A and B are shown apart, each in its own frame.
Chain A
Amino acid sequence: MTEITVVGAGGEYMESVVVVEWHKKPGERVEVGETVVTVETAKAATDIEAPASGVLAEIRAEVGQEIEVGGVLGIIGDDVAAVADSQLTAAPQPPSISAEQPLAPSAPCDGGKKRVVASPLARRVAAQRNIDLASVVPSSPSGRIKLRDLETHAVEAPHAAGTAAMAVKRQGSACPPVPASAGKAGNLHVQSRGNRQGDRIVFLHGFGSDGPSWQPLLAALGSGFNAILVDLPGHGRSPLPQHGPSVNEMAEAVALALGDAGIDDFHLIAHSLGGAIALALAARGRHAIRSLTLIAPAGLGPDINGGFVSGLVRATRPESLAPWLSKLFHDASLASPAFVAATMQARFDASLRDAQTHIAEAVFPDGTQAADLRHVIKGIAAPLKIVWGEQDRIIPMQHALGTGGLAALHFLPGVGHMPQIEAVEAVARLVMQNIRAAS
């Protein structure tokens, strides 16, 4: 017997492939060098040749199944064993692979065997976008896949590995959970940078972003501080929540993560959605927050650019992402192709985009901010600054006016939703004022 293995198909950074097609059925003869199975990686479909002549004795990875590079796709048995297996009259033979073991269980949720029920439109669009309908979960009570299910699925062929992974996750109770995410729940990804002896600053990023996105401001602030970069739930390298968490639940997750890291005394800088989470964190009163700098924060009013939020989470390629990213800035040229490409790269994982869709639905339902945290402001004794771009197209700067005169308001002309990038020097200067005021 000879194993058919996944070799050389994954590319440098791929850990797994998805089986696209078997060209032989169990029991069929194969010749060495003949294409026996096609697998798909993030880059391309790859044909795998039979490593030996013989009979395909066993398929271990069914179509649609994800398998690690190096894993065994199937077994090629020798002729005699296969013939013996199919001829009842044959004399007893040493047991062949297929006789010795039951066939390996097929893919965990054997969706590929069942006829997929989908609307004609969904079928057509899925074919155009190379979406495998077997991996799409219908949202309609009819059980029929509709166009909208593809929109939320929104994965193209190049991301087939991601598709399969997500499909398994979405099957819910019918399939075992994906081990990769097990054991990390609640533990947000937190990294510490700069001078550990310096003033400590916790950074909470905005929706769809991640901790490293603070880099320009970190550079402007210099290396004297100890920066704590938190990846919010469903963002960056933090675990993907199973459902869309509320602002309060995310604040609780941040509180737990900071507690685990022994961080209870810090300055806090937060942007956009992170701003709302910062206020919810402050309301908990479990930490000594020395100063608070909120940049274009959520949580101070109902309005938010719902089109931006849904456009961002839907985008699966740079062309569809770029128009939305340009809305972040007053100077649209800042959403450069390189910036767009880097952002898309960070959003490459379909399950991350999926998680963020659920988060958006929870915190910004129907394009409205669900959490109103204005009442928290009057309980904050520490220096509080709110910094806002006058040309913010995501959350209107007028929300700052609802803070009852208890925060220092800084409106930056010619700046959009990303003052920490578009006016990084001004933001750094205001942050330092706040930190000095606290000490």
Chain B
Amino acid sequence: MSMMRYAEALNQALREEMQRDPTVFVFGEDIGRYGGVFKVTRGLMEEFGEARIRDTPISEQALAAMAVTAAMTGTRPVLEIMYADFMPLVLDALINQASIYEYLWKDVTMPFVLRTQGGAGAGAGAQHSKNLDALVAHIPGIKVVAPSTPADAKGLLKSAIRDNQPVVFLEHKLLYNMRDEVPDDPKHLVEIGKAKILVEGADISIFATSRMVLESRKAAELLAADGISAEVIDLRSLRPLDLGAIKASIARTHHAVVVNEGWRFCGYAAELSATIMDHAFDDLDAPVARVTLPDMPVPYSEPLEMAVLPNAAKIADAARNILK
């Protein structure tokens, strides 16, 4: 185990997979000489050269099409899209190409990873603070993961690179500097589609991904002070979803709060809530509570941004409310 930042864990995952498999290459805006705006690809161009670490022009649409065709023709591309806010520009490649070619043509695999980062809380304004996970999780044939810890970031990115389906890998700008233990073993993989119980609890289950996992853990501490035992589950993978873990947790607690940093209407929390109803209705002792961003752009003003973001206090309130 080594202590390292989330960004360093991603860097290590890329390095290990590029060393292991010569067909893996990384491309995107400012990822080579500059090392990426969040320094995830720092030092990789020096080690692997300009052919495998490629700086590109600013054209997300072209980059996504490149990823699709490169994946179809025998390589394992890793594309970095600098901000999740630009995901609408790559949706055509995901919705009309990457996600369906396997269905249309025989013997086609689509082993590419699209890394991007989203989320608010950094004063980045309405065009650089979005969580658009629902947009990609909506697409059948695309896997979507959103790790909350450095160890999961490394293990999931390695699994994503080795996966033969397209994987959208969602990072969060406020997680890059988070330091934690990360396994040194290059064989450390985290299986896509497996949730993790971070805090065991008996009274209520809180489901979250990415940075909202951290807020959920804080919420569990707030609730513990009230004598409420909250279970915190890091879903890690938005699609496929770990239904078994969700059902087992609700069978224990009979109450669920789902937390998502994205919009509420047609958001990921709505999907999660409906899934819980589909599969655990008879175990529910109260309606599922959703904690999300309101349906509005993320404000630039810091006090306003803090006011609209889901946080530990709001999660704890939602939990107390359904436990009444």
The answer to whether A121 touches B324 (Cβ under 8 A) is: no
The answer to whether the Cβ of B48 comes within 8 Å of any Cβ in the partner chain is: no
Please, which residues of chain A bring their CB within 8 A of the CB of B254?
119, 121, 147
| Partner pick for A146 among B282, B283, B286, CB 8 A cutoff | B286
Please, which residues of chain A bring their CB within 8 A of the CB of B281?
120
The count of chain A contact residues (Cβ–Cβ below 8 Å) is 12
The answer to whether B324 touches A141 (Cβ under 8 A) is: yes
The answer to whether A147 touches B285 (Cβ under 8 A) is: yes
| Distance of A271 Cα from B285 Cα, bound (Å) | 40
The answer to whether the Cβ of A140 comes within 8 Å of any Cβ in the partner chain is: yes
The answer to whether the Cβ of A69 comes within 8 Å of any Cβ in the partner chain is: no
The answer to whether the Cβ of A86 comes within 8 Å of any Cβ in the partner chain is: no
| Distance of A147 Cα from B250 Cα, bound (Å) | 14
The answer to whether A144 touches B286 (Cβ under 8 A) is: yes
Interface string of A107-151 (1 = CB under 8 A from B): 000000000000111111000000000000000111010110000
Our count of residue pairs bridging A and B at CB distance below 8 angstroms stands at: 27
Please, which residues of chain A bring their CB within 8 A of the CB of B284?
119-121
Nearest neighbor of A127 in chain B, beta-carbon distance: B282
Interface string of A328-370 (1 = CB under 8 A from B): 0000000000000000000000000000000000000000000
Interface string of B270-292 (1 = CB under 8 A from A): 00000000000111111000000
Please, which residues of chain A bring their CB within 8 A of the CB of B286?
119, 140, 142, 144, 146
| Distance of A121 Cα from B287 Cα, bound (Å) | 11
Nearest CB of chain B from residue A251's CB, rounded to whole Å:
31
The answer to whether B285 touches A142 (Cβ under 8 A) is: no
Nearest CB of chain B from residue A128's CB, rounded to whole Å:
11
Please, which residues of chain B bring their CB within 8 A of the CB of A121?
254, 282-285
Nearest neighbor of B283 in chain A, beta-carbon distance: A121
Nearest CB of chain B from residue A21's CB, rounded to whole Å:
25
| Distance of A331 Cα from B230 Cα, bound (Å) | 39
| Partner pick for B324 among A123, A140, A147, CB 8 A cutoff | A140
Please, which residues of chain B bring their CB within 8 A of the CB of A141?
324
| Distance of A126 Cα from B285 Cα, bound (Å) | 12
Extra inter-chain contacts (10) besides given A120-B282, A122-B285, A142-B324, CB under 8 Å:
A119-B284, A120-B283, A120-B285, A121-B254, A121-B282, A121-B285, A140-B286, A140-B324, A146-B285, A146-B286
Q: Which 4 A-B pairs have the closest CB atoms?
A: A121-B285, A119-B285, A124-B282, A147-B285
A-B contact pairs, 24 of them (CB 8 A): A119-B254, A119-B284, A119-B285, A119-B286, A120-B282, A120-B283, A120-B285, A121-B254, A121-B282, A121-B283, A121-B284, A121-B285, A122-B285, A123-B282, A124-B282, A140-B286, A140-B324, A141-B324, A142-B286, A144-B286, A146-B285, A146-B286, A147-B254, A147-B285
